[in-house]
Amino acid sequence: MRTYELMFVVDPRVSDEEVVTMTQDYKTMITAGNTAEVTAEENWGRRKLAYPINKVSEGKYVLFFIQSPDGKNTLHEVEHRMRQNDKILRFLTVRTDEDLKRASRRNAVPTPGGGGTPLVVDDPDDDDLDSGEEI
């Protein structure tokens, strides 16, 4: 199962009720094929943008956490509809399961012989006190 995060920024001139309706519509679209599931939804509210988009300096942020075995087909249609919606300033979909795998590989400490307990590396520059040292 692949996990995704889909964030979109709505024009701040859109009412809160309209944002809720839009959010429900996109959720329905994602879960329509019974293959994808929106596991969590966060409404971040109104926030300042890093730079103006279409002469707008604020936006209403919404974040979906999605699980799908085949995200390409499901999310492609949602992204297509978001591109056509003038009320959405920006959106971004990120596949997070790959990011988690990369991060765990990057943080993994090599083990001697490829198995067993992790190799402990003593850093000569660390400021930890050894037993017997005084402050």
pTM of the full predicted structure?
0.70
Q: Strands 56-68, 37-53: parallel, antiparallel or unpaired by DSSP?
A: antiparallel
Please list the pLDDT of the chain residue by residue as tens digits (135 residues): 888 999 999 999 999 999 999 999 999 998 887 788 999 999 999 999 999 999 999 999 999 999 988 767 778 889 999 999 999 999 999 988 776 677 777 776 655 555 555 555 555 555 555 555 565
Q: Write down the domain spans for the chain.
A: 1-9+16-42+77-91
The angle formed by the CA atoms of residues 122, 124 and 125, to the nearest 5 degrees, is 120
